[in-house]
Amino acid sequence: MIISMKNLGKIYKNGQIEVEALKHANIDIEKEEFVAIMGPSGSGKSTMMNIIGCLDKSTSGEYWLDGINISTLNEVELARIRNLKIGFVFQSFNLLPRITALQNVELPMIYAGIGSKERRKKASSALERVGLEERMHHKPNEMSGGQKQRVAIARALVNSPALILADEPTGNLDSTSSEEIMSVFQDLNREGVTIVLVTHEPDIAEHTKRVLRFRDGIIRADETVKNPVDAR
């Protein structure tokens, strides 16, 4: 089990005002699952992603990530687990513009203290996995949106995380590039990578294997996608 949530709740407090953003969420996500989180604005998706990604903590219940009880950790431990266990992909790519694709993918390994030779080797192989080996010396502004997002996925993969978390990964892409990105995710998932993404688009969710629908802080549906659309 990669993720296990037991009766998880989140209340934001601003002075006298309290917002109950998540209510008794119970979710288990196994290794090699591919999950889409959907729901209207304000339904608790970002709150859930922040908790899964160890960027924020619940205010009640338990969150277990890869066998670790996250609910008991302090900020420093949380940051360590985050770097070790999670690869993040964002809607806006978040690449550094002045350095090459290869150098962008090397960044998480610099923070992890990995030597330059091994960094280069692992970064090229991650770029190969996302089909971008011939573009690795290009800078982000010389690439299409879909290519930039593939660089971001390679960067998320490079420290072999337990989980890839993607927040609206196709939100800035046209439909062709979106398909391209979903194809990359499907290939990685077939190779055993666990992926959780947030999307507003039903067409995107149809490429995953399971859809969690949020409303008013509650998971109101947990559906298996019977015949996921193959992006290839």
Site residues, ligand ADP (CB under 6 A): 12, 14, 19, 21, 39, 41-47, 168, 171, 200-201
Distance of closest approach, residue 35 Cβ to ligand ADP, in angstroms: 15
Say which residue the tokens 């990964």 belong to: 169
CA end-to-end span of the chain: 28
The residue assigned the tokens 């900020």 is: 75
Give 91 or 144: the residue with its C-beta nearer to ligand ADP. 91
Rank residues 108 and 217 by Cβ distance to ligand ADP and give the closer one: 217
Token digits of residue 21: 């953003």
Residue ranges of E strands in 111-168: 163-167
Least distance from ligand ADP to the Cβ atom of residue 158, Å? 26
Distance in Å, CB of 201 to ligand ADP, minimum: 6
Q: What is the DSSP string of 81-106?
A: HHHHHEEEE-TT----TTS-HHHHHH
Q: Which is nearer to ligand ADP, 85 or 213 (CB)?
A: 213
How near is the Cβ of 90 to ligand ADP at its closest, in Å? 11
Instruction: Choose between 145 and 171: whose C-beta lies nearer to ligand ADP.
Output: 171
